[in-house]
Structure formats: C-alpha cells, structure tokens
Chains A and B, each alone.
Chain A
Amino acid sequence: MRAAMGRGILVIGLLIPLVPLVLWSVTRTWQYPSLLPQEYDLRGFEELGRPGSDLLEGVTTSSIIAIVVTLAAAGIGLSAGRALGLYHFRSKRLIQFLMLAPVIVPAFAVTMGIQVLFIRVGLNDTLWGVALVHMIPTVPYVTLVMGGVFANYDVAYEEQARVLGAGPLSILFRVTLPAVFPGLAVASLFAFVISWSEYLLTLLVGGGTVKTMPLLLFAYIGGNDSTRAAALGIIFIIPPLLLLALTSRYLTGSKRAISGLGKL
C-alpha cells in the first residue's frame, strides 16, 4: 500500500511538469483559472514550415553546429580514448584529470577568458568559433567514454588481421570500428545533445549573430509567449528523446556514459 503510493507520487512528480508544457504548445487561448486550454491550434509549430522563419533558421544553425561538433568530437575522442583505454603510461592520471575537468567545470568560465583571443583571430561572432567552444565539454566526454570502451577491447583481433595481411585502413574500418561502434554511437549522440542544448557558450562567442535554438528559446521566454516557448521546447526535446530511445539500454549499464548526462 505504502509502496503503491510511493510509486504514484514518483510517476506524477516526474511527469507533471511535462503536462503544461505539452498543453501550452498547442494552445490558442488558455485563461486562468481553467485547467485545460479553451482553444487549441498549432501556430507554435507552423513557423517550422515557413521558409526564412526564426524557428527554421534556429533548427538549421543548431543542427549544423551540433553535427560539426559531433563529428569532430567522435574522431578526436576515438583516438584519445584508445590511448587512455589501451595503454598505461606515467602521466595517465593527469590526462584523465584534464579530460574529466572540462566535462564538469562549467565551460563558460574558461570561455570568458579566451574570448579576447577569439576576437583577435576573427573567430568571435562566427559559427566556427561557436563550434570550437562547444568542443570544450564534448571532446573530453567522448574521450572518457571511449577510454572505458577500449579498456575492455582486445587488440589481439587487430594483430590477427595484420598477420592475415590487412592494411591499417582495412583494420580500422573492418576490425576496430565495428568492435567499438556501440560505445562510439552512444558517446556521439550525447555529444550532439550537449552541443544542441548549449546556451551560454553560444551567446558569449556567437554574440547573438549565431542564432541557435537555445537562444531562440530564451528570447521566447523573455517575450512572454507561452505557446511559442512551449512549442519550441517540444521541438527542442525531439533529438534528446531519440537519443534516449536508442541508448536507454546503455543508460543503466554504463556509469561513465551517464556522467555526461549531468551536463544536460
């Protein structure tokens, strides 16, 4: 009986914040104190289909940045993770600290410091500059996950392929990548979502000219238009929810992977 009540409270507590979010996203009018909207429509979502709209621009800009960041983080993290997972070396502990710190320390603090240099080299207010600072939290994160993956990886398969005459590229694509693919896919999806959700770094370096979804969301919240803000929120969580659907079996399994979720 007590357990049943506990379960009820847990489910309601976790789900109830999503109820007004979903309702508001399809609301036309919803006056106080009504518990349900008086009129519904899809104006919050319609903008997505209009060429040149803020919403479409936001989705495009956010996607480009997140894809660039994800590809770079996957490649760099794969390489560094291999070093951390397969080898023992003297300064490994320091490297682990250096990789863990940017995952947990808020990146805006160091971004403020480096912005002076970004202005000098012309990276400020550009999409590339924004993508570059998004790599501060994502690259170390993929590195850590891949370090864990490579720690349970058997290099002997590569040796065998080599003995049988496979070249380095062939080994990479036919032996190594298939073996570490599940881990790499999960880490990359997380990198995508971390970049996709980043607000402050984009604002600091993009200076408002690089208009991503989070910047738009902040503008809508400030603009007091609950319907647009809620609809944008719903569009916003589609990639993260896909991520959950694809990776939920790893979620409860890998503690390393989830440490990155503390970031979202």
Chain B
Amino acid sequence: MSFRSKSLAEPAPSGAGSALGPTIERSERLPGEWRDGFKILALLSPALFLIVVLFLGGFAFGFLQSLGFLALVGDGGLSLEAYRRMLEDPAVRASLPLTLRISIISTVLSAVLAVASALLIRGTKRGQKFLVWVFQLNIPIPHIVGAVAMLLLLQQSGYFSRFAYALGLVSSPAEFAPLIADEFGVGIIVHYMWKEIPFIGVVVLAALQSGVSDFEEVARTLGASSWKRFRYIIVPFIAPSVFSTSIIAFAFTFGSYEIPFLLGRPFPAALPVVAVQSYNDSDLLSRPEAMATSVLITVFISLLVYLYMRVSDRYTGGVR
C-alpha cells in the first residue's frame, strides 16, 4: 500500500504513457523517514488546509444543515425530513430523468463523434494543422459565452431559423421548432456536444499520436482488415482516454448550473438548477432541502471521481 510504482503519481488516463516506454524509477523514499514526513506535511499543508476547510468543511456543514442543524426555523432536532421532502418534491422528481437524459445523451454522442473526429483529423494529410486549430479553438471558450452563442444560433428568431426562412422551410420565427427552453433539452445537449467533442477529441488525438500507427502497420502487413485494425488495435489503445474523459464530461454536465439555467426551462429543470432554486427560496424550510440536493449531487459525483481514479490507475500500470 505504501509503496507504489512511480507511474501512479500520474493518474491521468494514458494509453499514451504506456507506449512512451517505462518511466525511470527514482530511489524510493522510505515512508517512515521522519525528515521526509515533515517536509511532505509542510509542502501539503496550505493546499490541505484549504481543501479540508472549504471543501470537506463545506460538505460537512451542508450535510449537517440537510439534517436540520443550524436551521433558521424548526425545532432544531436532527432528522431526515429534508431528504423525504426532496424525494417527494415534484421539481426534483421531474429533474432526475431530465438531468440524466441530458448527461447521458450528450456524453455518449460526444464520445462517439470525438473518436470519429480524431480519426478523421489523424487521417488528414493536407490542412491537418488547420483542422487541429479549429478543433481546439472552442475548448477554452467559457461555457456561458458558448450559451450566448447557442441562444443566438438556435432560438426561434436565431441564425438557423433565418437559414430555414431563406430555404423556404419556415415563414416566421414561430414556425421554427423551439430548440431553446424546449421540453427535451435539445439546446442544452447541442451546447454540451459542441464543447465536449473537442475536449474528448484532443485527448483521443494525443493517444492516437503515441505509437499506435506502428502496431497498425504490423497488423496491415499481416493482412488485418481496416475494421479489424480499428476493433483490435485502435479501440484498446484509445479506450482508457475515451472512458476517463467521458467520466469528466458526464460529471460536468450532471453538476453544472449555468447551461441548463440559460438554455433550459425553469420546470422541469436540471438538478443543480433545482438545488439553487430551493436555496434561494424565500420559504426557509426549503434550505435543508437545497442542502440535501447538494449532498446528493456531491456524493454521486464523488463516486464518479473514484471511478475515474480506478480507470486511470488500471491503465497506467499501477498496482491495483
């Protein structure tokens, strides 16, 4: 447990890392060495202090408040009342299927299209640099700016609607299908795909550029069809990258507030939107319920973080 291969210090998903050759082992430091122990603690303490106080402390305080502790109203006793109210709340009940639908659809479609795009870019000879540039361009664009762009593109009087008019498909904005604040969450899903395809794609591209072509070449000379090369060489090579970035994308889409708030409906709304709605509710009885919803989101996404670490460890060759 205390001794681990050094590659674990880099739990990033890495079909790539393993192909780059073995990492050079540094002399292992004994965990019992006092001097080192003190040094480690000193180096870590500012970051740990911050995370323990703000992150763990915030979680613990939220949890206590969800149990009725520090409540501004009520008898002050601890109870699971807020969790019962949360599960019976129509806003939460309507929100769960919507939130999961948005996260699952946008993550799966993004992952598939990201792999297709990465393979397409890799296979491009002329103009590859331009393609990579365009592919990376919207990665650093903040989500809320992307949301403004999506509003101007997809709303009923938006850019697409004007194209539809020019093509004679609609004769007024009202005839254009509502894609913003629609019941299904189309606008939200389109936005997430626009952001997540390049995000997953550049990681896949990096994995593809790290030695897979040698294996493909060998397989080709041995007569493997292009499908077989994809299935038995490319897929195993990129699977860890796709899986780990997809977990991050899924966690983000599940836990983010801004996009469903701007591009979705107030009801049914995504779970983070519901949490903030009840947090801001003038009825103070909603406070513990907001905390319960936050606790639910935190616990669920923490499980995803754990899953992400397991996936990363497994493929970086660490001791399981």
Contact = CB atoms under 8 A, between A and B. Distances in A.
A105 interface: yes
Interface of A: 3, 6-7, 10-11, 13-21, 24, 32-35, 75-77, 79-80, 82-85, 87-90, 92-93, 95-102, 104-114, 116-117, 132-133, 135-136, 139-140, 143, 147-148, 151-152, 155, 193, 196-197, 199-200, 204, 214, 217-218, 221, 226, 229-230, 233, 236-237, 240-241, 243-244, 248, 251-256, 258-259, 261-264
Nearest to B16: A255
Contacts of A204: 279
Interface stretch (B79-87, B94-102, B249-257): B249-257
Contacts of B279: 112, 204
Interface string B1-41: 11110100111111010000001001011010000110110
B274 interface: no
Nearest to B162: A33
Interface residues of B, number: 117
Contacts of B136: 244, 248, 251-252
A92 B139 contact: no
B31 A77 contact: no
B144 A217 contact: yes
Contact of A114 (B9, B58, B157, B206): B58
Nearest to B150: A17
Nearest to A153: B26
B74 to A, nearest CB: 15
B145 A217 contact: yes
Contacts of B251: 104-105, 262
Given A14-B194, A111-B58, A104 B149 contact: no
Contacts of B308: 100, 104
Interface string B186-230: 000000001001110011011001000000000000000000000
14 contacts: A7-B120, A16-B153, A17-B150, A20-B152, A33-B162, A87-B29, A100-B11, A104-B248, A113-B58, A113-B291, A133-B54, A136-B51, A151-B6, A259-B248
Q: From DSSP, what is the main secondary structure of chain A's interface residues?
A: helix
Given A76-B47, A114-B61, A230-B148, 10 more contacts: A7-B124, A83-B43, A88-B2, A101-B305, A106-B256, A106-B272, A108-B272, A108-B294, A248-B133, A262-B245
Contacts of A97: 305-306, 309
Select the residue from B23, B37, B48, B291 with max chain A CB neighbours within 10 A: B48
B146 interface: yes
B301 interface: yes
